[in-house]
Amino acid sequence: MSDRYTALQSLLDERYTCRAFRPDAVDRDTIESILRLAQRTPSWCNTQPWQLVVTADPAATDRFRKALLDHIEGTPAQTDIPFPTAYHGVYRDRRRECGGALYQAVGVQRGDHAGSLRQMLRNFELFDAPHVAILTTEADLGAYGAVDCGLYLTSFLLGAQSLGVATAPQAALATYSPFLHEYFEIPAHRQVVAGISFGYPDAGHASNSFRTTRAELDQVVTWA
């Protein structure tokens, strides 16, 4: 295999969803380097539908984190883009495998509802990340605008990994889209796709100790 293939494989193999961050800020030059890499993402007709709001420093992130936690208490979830209606078959199994590995790593036992709630709330604490990005798409571009944003999200994650910055892509933040619109003054014609918490990993934290699996090719590819 070529060196470039091996380098990309290494980035994909090393990347994981970080669920515990150190408080250290990522410097602006590094963040902008990630954004410049992600900006090379392909899109349908080169529309580049993605836009981001990025918290510039830990103080800004902390203000948002506190406001979000205050908001979600007793507030029903509401998304701009419909979430999955159900998980069946292999999709349910993969989801359970991921959740089970996380709970085992952090010591949450089956039936521990308080522990499960606490771990769920870590999403809205941004896993203590010093920065968060809110990714949006143009509503008029429909599903394919969101697909393009998914491509952008992957570029962001791999760009961050290449520079030693850990990430947590978070659809959970989109469950309170109206709040994000108000807090960050996101126009109504923009739809919230996801959040990305990022920073430097707390490598010793239990929640960062497990890795998810991937299906074999014969489970996802049909040769015609």
pLDDT digits (tens, 9 = 90+) for 82-130: 999 999 999 999 999 999 999 999 999 989 999 999 999 999 999 999 9
Cβ-based neighbours of 55, under 8 Å, separated by 6 or more: 61, 64, 131, 132, 133
When pLDDT is cut at 50, 70 and 90, the band that residue 185 belongs to is very high
What is the rounded CA–CA span in Å between residue 202 and residue 206? 9
Which pTM value belongs to this model? 0.96
Q: In what order do the strands lie in the sheet with 190-199?
A: 51-54, 131-138, 190-199, 166-170
pLDDT attached to residue 1:
83
Alpha helices in the chain (DSSP H): 3-14, 28-38, 58-72, 89-106, 113-121, 142-162, 177-184
Dig out the tokens for 200 from the structure.
């430097």
